[in-house]
Structure 1
Amino acid sequence: MERVIVTAVIDERERETDARASLAELKSLVTTAGGTVMATATQNRPAPDVSTYVGKGKAEEIQTLVEEWEADVVVVNGELSPRQGQSLTARTTARVIDRTQLILDIFADRARTKEGRIQVELAQLTYLLPRLRGQGESLSRLGAGIGTRGPGETKLETDRRHIRGRMDELKKDLRRIRKHRSTIREQKDRLNQPQFTLVGYTNSGKTTLLNALTNEDALAEDLLFATLDPLTRGLRLPSGLSARVSDTVGFIRGLPTTLIAAFRATLEEVTDADILIHVIDATSPEAESEKQTVLQLLNELGAGEIPVITVMNKAETLDEGTVPIVNVDRPWLYVSAKEHHHIGDLHRVMEDELSKQMAFYAIHIPASNGRLLHTIRQTTLVQSETFDEEKEMYKLEGYAFEGHPQVERLKKEGQEP
C-alpha cells in the first residue's frame, strides 16, 4: 500500500465545512485507489499559484513531509495545469497527481467491460495529451502505483499524432457500441418495459438498493465508485408489470469533464429512463450539497426534466434527532437497502409514478386467450381484475403506455366495454 501526502489550496471565501468535506472525500478516493494518507498539507489563499499550485514555501513543506513519511505520491485536491504539474513535480521526489488523475486511475482499475475500458482510456488520453511535454521522468515510473494505471508508457511516449490516432480509434469503437446499445434499447421498447435508473452520489448505496429491489446479488462495496460499468436487472412490480432497473456510476463533486464526455454512452442509461431513482445517503452530513451535485450533473446530461423519486437510504442507522435536513420534492421516502426496510413501499411509489405517464384502460379478454392475458399482466399496470363466469371473460382495468399494441388492438376489435 502506497504512502500518500494530500494537499489542497483552500479559497479564503470557501466555507470551512465545504473545504473539510472536499478534503475528506479526497482521502476516501486515495483509500479507494489503494493508498494510505500519511499527512495533509493545506494552504489558505485566494487562488492557486499559477506556477506551482501552492506557494514555493508550501512546496518545500510538502517535500519535507515526503521525506519524513517516505511518501510515494503527492495528491492535489484540484486539477493541475500542465505548468503547475511540471513545477510541483520538479520540487518533490514523489509522484505528483491531481484529483482528476486519481479519479481516472480508480476508474481504470475498476472498469470490467470492453466499453468501460475504452471509455477510461479515452478519458485518460484526453487528460494526458496536453501534459505530455516534460513528462519523460514521470513516464519512466508508469506501471507501478497510484496514478499509473491505464494507457501505459509505450502509448504515451509516442508522438501526439499517434495518440490522437488512438483516440480516434477509441471514439469509433464507442460509436459502434452506442449504435448496438441503441438497437437493444429499441428492442426493449417494443416490449413496453418501463426503465428505472438509479442515480446518486458515489457510495450512497445504489447497488445495494438495486439488489434489494430485484433480489439480485450484484457486488456492493463500501468504497467510492464501487460500480463503474452499467448494470441492468429485471424487476417485477407488485401489479405484475415487468420493468428494468439500471445502476450507474456514482456522481462526485468536481467529476472531470473529460470523464463525463467519455462516459456519455454509458450515462445514456440516465437519459433513457422513464423515472430516475435518486439515492441519497441520509446519514451523510453533506447530503444537501451531494444532492445538489447530482442534480447539477443530471441537468448537464439533459436529464433534468425526467421524473424523480428521491430515496433517503441507510435509514437503519438514523435516530430522529440526527436526520439531516434535505430539501427534496415529493415523492420521497426513507428506506434501508441493506436491511430491506420499506422496499415494498418504494415498489408502490414506483408504480404510482409510472401510472402518471400512462393512459387508463378497461378491457375484456376471453378466458381462452391465456397468452394475451399473461402479456397484459406483464406489460401494464393492472389495478383490478375480475372474471365474468357467464361470458367467460376477464375484465381488466389499469394503466398502459400510449400505443401499447395489445391494448390498442383490443380497443379496435371493440372489446372495450
Structure 2
Amino acid sequence: MSLPSLASIGIGIETLRANPLRTVLSTLGVIIGVAALVAVLALGDGMEQLGRREIERTTDVQTVVVAPRLTEEVDGRTLPRTDYPVFTPGEAEAAAALPGVAGVSLVLTGNSLVEAGRGERRAAGVSATLPGAADFHAMTFAAGRYFTDVEAGRNAPVVVLSYKLADELAQGAGAEVMQDRTVRVNGEPRRVIGILAPYKGERARAAWVPLRAARSVLPASSTARAPTLYLKARNVEGVTAVQAAAEDWLARRCGRWERRVKVETSQARLEQVRQGMATFKLFLGAITGISLVVGGIGIMNVLLASVTERTREIGVRKAIGAQPADILAQFLAESVAIAGVGSGIGLVLGVLAAFGITALVRAQSEAPLYAGFSASTLGVVALAALGVGVSFGIYPALRASRLSPIDAIRHE
C-alpha cells in the first residue's frame, strides 16, 4: 500500500477520535451483535456438551454390541440357526485387551418368575452377568451392592433386583425392605443383596444373577445359551475403532463371522443428536446474527452522514492530489476500525454473558450446564463482524471516492 493510502487510513482513524459520541454510538450496534452471537453460540455449545455427557452416562452410545445371530431369513421365513458362537468369560477377557476397549460385559438374558416369601410373584427379565456389570452399565443402588468375583466364582445364591420389581414384591412396604430377604428365581431360592435405584419412567421388572447361574434360573432356550458380548469404548470418538477391532477379533475366532454374528453400535443416535444441535445452533445464530446486521446498517448510516458533512473536505483533498483509492481507504479504515473495536469489546462481553447465564442456570436448576467456547467459534464471530464492517462500509467509501473535486468543493 502506498504512503498516501497509509496516510488516508490515519486520517480515517483520527476522524473517529475527533467524533467520540458518533463513534461510540455506531460501535454500540456491533458490540451488541457480537456479544449476543458469542453468548448464544457458547450456550449452544454448552448445551451440546451437556446433552452428549448425559447420553454417554445414560445410554449405550459408547458400547459395541457383539451378539450371536440366532435366526436367519430364508425365502421370507425366519429359521433358527445352530452354528452361532457361544462366548465365554475367557473370550470376554481376551476382548477386553483389544485396542481402545475400556470394559467388557457378558450377558445372558431371559424371562423367569420371581417369587417373594409371602406368595407375591412377578414375571421379570433376568440377566446372568459377570461381576463387573454394575460398573460397565453404570448401575446405581438404593440399597446393597452387586455380587463380587468370589460370589460369582462359586455361584453363590444371590440376586440383585430392580427397584420396580422389589417394590412390587414388597407389596407396598417399600422396595428397600426386600434387602437381605430370600426370593425364588425360577423356583431357586436366592438372597437379595442389592436393589437398584429408581429412575424416572421405570417400567421394567428386572433381576441380575451370576453368569454361572444361567442354567438354573433361565429357561432352556437358545437365548439363554447364547450370551451377548458388550465392549465399551474409552470415549465416543473411539467407538468406530473398537468396532473395527471387534470385527478383526471375530474374523480370527469365527472366520466368516458376518452370517453368524452381528456387530452393532448406537452411533446413529449420537449423530442425530449432533445434527439436531447443529441445526438448533444455526437457527439461533441466524436469528442473533440479525443484530450484527443492524449494527452494520448503523455503520453505513454514520459513514453516509460523514460523507455528506465532509464533502468539501473530500473535494479539497482530491484537488491537491488525493486519489480515489486514498479516499476509499480512509472511509474503509473508519468502517473496519468501528467493526474491529466493536467485535473485540463484544467478544469479551459475550464471554462474560455466557459465563453469567450458565452460572445462573446451575444455581437455579442444578443442571451441569457450562458455556462452551472454541477458538474457531470466536474467530468466526470476529471475522463476521469485520466482514459486516467492510460490507456496510464499502458503499459510503465508494460514494466518497467517486465525488467530483469541483462539485465537492462547491457543496454547501
TM-score, structure 2 as length reference: 0.22
- Greater relative contact order (Cα 8 A, min sep 6): structure 1 or 2? 2
Greater C-alpha Rg: 2
